[in-house]
Amino acid sequence: MNTRTWWSIGGIITALAGCGSVPPVVRYTPPAVAESAVRDPIRFDDPRHAEQVVLYAYGLLGTGYQFGGRNPEAGLDCSGMVSYIVEQVSGKRLPHNAARIAAQTRSVERDDLQPGDLVFFNTLNRPHSHMGIYLGEGKFIHAPNSRGAVRIERLASRYFSTRFDGGRTLQPEI
Q: Where in the sequence numbering do the catalytic residues fall?
A: 78, 130, 142
CB 63 within 8 A of CB 76: yes
Q: Are strands 164-169 and 106-108 parallel, antiparallel or unpaired?
A: antiparallel
Using only C-alpha atoms, the chain has a radius of gyration, in whole angstroms, of: 22
- Number of neighbours of residue 52 by Cβ within 10 angstroms: 17
Measure Cα distances from 58 to 43, 133, 141, 169 in Å. 21, 10, 8, 19
Residue 46 CA to residue 54 CA, distance in Å, equals 14
Read off the DSSP letter of residue 8. Answer: H
